Structure 1
Amino acid sequence: MLKEHAKLMKAFAASGEIIGRKKLQKMIYIAKKLSFPFQEKYQFHFYGPYSEELTLKVEELCNMGFIDEVREKKGGYFQYRYTITENGQEFLSLYEEPVLNMEGCFQNMNEKSSRFLELVSTVLYFDTLTREDVSAKIAKVKSKQNYSEEEIDEAYSYIEQLRDEVKH
């Protein structure tokens, strides 16, 4: 059971601090699509791929004292900040299975905006479709985000950059 939790904690440790639940969801989904060993199941949701399993595991990690979740009011909504705790670091030191290139990949994703990661994860969610069909799908399911073709091109380039980074 805790093996899957430890994989998530490695992502937190590699990222430093993750600001936002949406960003966390997208980072884990993108990593999963890049063949990192995450097992959470995802469905398409209002903000793109979403995993209830991931939400529950993060809640469990917070309850165990391995992850610190800070809720802060930002304008009209609440934002969440996640960091690994000292107890979490101790627990993680017992988990020796290395995950290659995780640090660079998660640090890179963590520097991107939630909006951009939402686009990247949506592109990956529809990766069985042609690029043209993905653009049409994004225009339909993400109409409020108003993504431009340039942003979609940037998402595809970013996916390739991450794939190259994971290979090395």
Structure 2
Amino acid sequence: MLKDHARLMSAFLASGEIVGRKKLQKMIYISKKLTFPFQEKFQFHFYGPYSEELTLRVEELCNMGFISETKEKKGGYFQYRYAITEEGQGFLKLYEEQMPFLKDCLEDMNLQSARFLELVSTILYFDNLEKEEVKEKIFTLKRKQKYTAEEVDEAYEYINQLKYKIQ
């Protein structure tokens, strides 16, 4: 149990601050698909892959004081900011698991928009299908997002760049 919490805390440490719950979900899912040892189970949801386990684990880490969650009003909605606390960093020193290249990947993902990461994670969710089938799914399931064929190609290229970082 604590190992999974420590892995998540390592992700927060590597990322610095993560702004947005959706972005957090996508970053962890993409990392998992890149073979980093995150154990949370994901299902396809309205905004792409989503893990209730991840949501609960983050809530537990916040309650333990290892992760800080800041809620801020932004226009007509609330946005959440997450960062590891000093207590979390201290705890992590006891359980830290070496995950080479995680920092590079997460820092890069953290620079991307949540919308783009939603596209990348959706592509990875359907990675057992041919590229044309994935495009059809995206244009059907993500119709409201209005992704273009160029954006889908950019997402595939981005996935290849991430895979290259971990080789």
Same fold judged by TM-score > 0.5? yes
Q: How many residues align?
A: 167
- For 1:7, give the aligned amino acid: R
Aligned partner of 1:18 in structure 2 is: 18
Q: Runs of 5+ in structure 2 lacking a partner?
A: none
Aligned partner of 1:154 in structure 2 is: 154
Following TM superposition, the consecutive aligned residue runs of length 4 or more in structure 1 with deviations greater than 2 angstroms are none
Q: SS of the residue aligned with 2:36? A: coil
Counting aligned pairs with the same residue, the percent is: 69
* TM-score of the two chains, using structure 1 as the length reference: 0.99
Is 1:60 aligned with 2:51?
no
Shift of 1:97: 2.1
* TM-score of the two chains, using structure 2 as the length reference: 0.99
Q: How does 1:1-168 map to 2 (within 5 A)?
A: 1-167=1-167
Shift of 1:96: 3.4
Per-residue CA deviations over 1:100-152 (Å, capped at 9, x if unaligned) read: 11110100000000000000000000001110000000000000000000000
RMSD: 0.5
Q: Could you tell me whether the CA contact under 8 Å between 2:6 and 2:96 is conserved in 1?
A: no
Q: Runs of 5+ in structure 1 lacking a partner?
A: none
Q: SS of the residue aligned with 1:44? A: strand
- For 1:54, give the aligned amino acid: L
